[in-house]
């Protein structure tokens, strides 16, 4: 969970939003369980910058797909 929290913090800092807002966005689309924790083995070996970029790209895609479904 420490890794997941650091992903939220890094993504929030990158997008200049609060950690609470970023966590809620990730939770809304299931990114925490469906991407961050599921892909932990591969993600945690990467640089912080690379992980942050991957997480934010996934978040954008997952939010877009969710919007299309509504």
11-48: pLDDT as tens digits: 999 999 999 999 999 999 999 999 999 999 999 899 99
The answer to whether 68 and 36 have CB atoms below 8 angstroms apart is: no
CA–CA separation, 48 and 64 (whole Å) = 24
Q: The domain containing residue 22 runs over which residues?
A: 2-69
Nearest-CA neighbor of 62 among 36, 19, 26?
26
* pLDDT score for 70: 80
Number of domains composing the chain: 1
Residue 52 token pair: 């942050």
CA–CA separation, 46 and 16 (whole Å) = 22
């Amino acid at each position: 969970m420490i890794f997941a929290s650091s992903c939220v913090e890094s993504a929030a800092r990158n997008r200049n939003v609060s950690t609470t807002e970023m966590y809620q966005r990730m939770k809304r689309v299931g990114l925490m369980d469906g991407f961050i924790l599921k892909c932990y083995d591969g993600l945690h070996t990467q640089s912080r910058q690379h992980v942050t970029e991957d997480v934010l790209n996934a978040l954008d895609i997952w939010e877009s797909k969710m919007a299309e479904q509504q």
